[in-house]
């Protein structure tokens, strides 16, 4: 499959990219930081299968242009994985309007931009897959995550509606809802205290890779992943 992953310069996105490359997929990766995209590990056998495209998903025109570049590069696009995300761990009263807007812009608006960029193409082909990486904050209350939880709840609602709108058009829409995963998004103190019980990015990547192997007549609608010992 030809796959596009946003927010792929580190964390879960990077792990998904490396896993899919190992499995023989062609993978386009985008993120704001081009230098970090260069750190994605790819062996010589798959070097032609990786396409790096700097992108800030906040801007629709740039996102739309990136979709066109990827389709031109690979000849087609089968899967979009919306993974780009940011957060601030602050109480709502301490979260500035600017911080709140940035989180909504990247986490929710960025998903909308990605979907709008690829959906007409997928509808025309009557084939495609949109995978949205969400968060367990949509199902459980975590303090100091008001803006983040709001953005991810919006993505979940968008995903659920989109799934029903395109179900009869040959397009699959899947929500991946991970619990605590050890990434740079967490403050150092939290990673030091809870890192051993968090999921690893490779755990999430393996699940994403596995759903792409499901039969054509099956839609994996939503998968929730949590650490074996539960939420933090």
Whole-Å CA distances, 29 to 145, 165, 170: 27, 27, 24
Residue 71: how many CB atoms within 10 A of its CB? 16
* Of residues 103, 104, 155, the one with CA closest to residue 130: 155
The single residue of 51, 59, 121, 148 carrying the catalytic annotation is 148
Distance CA 111, CA 97 (A): 20
Annotated catalytic, 148? yes
Compute the 3-state secondary structure of the chain and give helix, strand, coil in percent, each to the nearest 5: 50, 20, 30
Task: Tell me which residues are annotated as active site.
Answer: 148
């Amino acid at each position: 499959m030809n796959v596009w992953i946003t927010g792929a310069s580190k964390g879960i996105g990077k792990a998904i990219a490396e896993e899919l490359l190992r499995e023989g997929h062609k993978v386009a990766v985008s993120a704001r930081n081009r230098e970090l995209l260069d750190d994605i590990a790819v062996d010589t056998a798959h070097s032609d299968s990786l396409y790096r495209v700097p992108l800030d998903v906040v801007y629709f025109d740039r996102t739309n242009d990136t979709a066109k570049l990827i389709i031109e590069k690979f000849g087609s696009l089968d899967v979009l994985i919306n993974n780009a995300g940011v957060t601030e761990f602050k109480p709502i009263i301490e979260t500035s309007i600017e911080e709140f807007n940035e989180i909504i812009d990247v986490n929710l608006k960025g998903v909308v931009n990605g979907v709008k960029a690829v959906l007409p193409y997928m509808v025309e082909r009557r084939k495609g897959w949109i995978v949205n990486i969400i968060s367990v904050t949509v199902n459980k209350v975590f303090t100091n995550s008001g803006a983040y939880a709001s953005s991810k709840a919006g993505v979940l609602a968008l995903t659920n509606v989109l799934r029903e709108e395109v179900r009869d058009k040959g397009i699959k829409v899947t929500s991946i809802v991970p619990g605590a995963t050890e990434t740079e998004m967490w403050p150092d103190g939290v990673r030091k205290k809870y890192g051993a019980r968090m999921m690893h990015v490779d755990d999430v990547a393996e699940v994403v890779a596995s759903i792409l192997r499901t039969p054509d007549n099956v839609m994996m609608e939503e998968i929730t992943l949590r650490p074996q010992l539960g939420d933090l």
